[in-house]
């Protein structure tokens, strides 16, 4: 049970970091979308 919790926590954290990276890339490469 504890192992599953750790895996879920790890993947949720990874998803947050990934989303932040994508938003940063979008802001850098596509400034016209952020008016």
- pLDDT grade, residue 31 (50/70/90)? low
End-to-end CA distance of the chain: give it in Å, rounded. 46
Mean pLDDT of 15-30: 85
- pLDDT grade, residue 33 (50/70/90)? low
- Flag whether pLDDT at 35 surpasses 60: no
What pLDDT sits at residue 1?
73
Report the distance separating Cα 13 and Cα 8, nearest Å: 9
Q: Where are the alpha helices (DSSP H) in 1-35?
A: 2-29
What pLDDT sits at residue 34?
53
pTM: 0.58
- Flag whether pLDDT at 32 surpasses 80: no
């Amino acid at each position: 049970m504890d192992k599953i919790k750790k895996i879920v926590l790890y993947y949720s954290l990874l998803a947050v970091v990934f989303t932040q990276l994508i938003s940063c890339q979008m802001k850098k490469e596509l400034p016209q979308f952020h008016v």
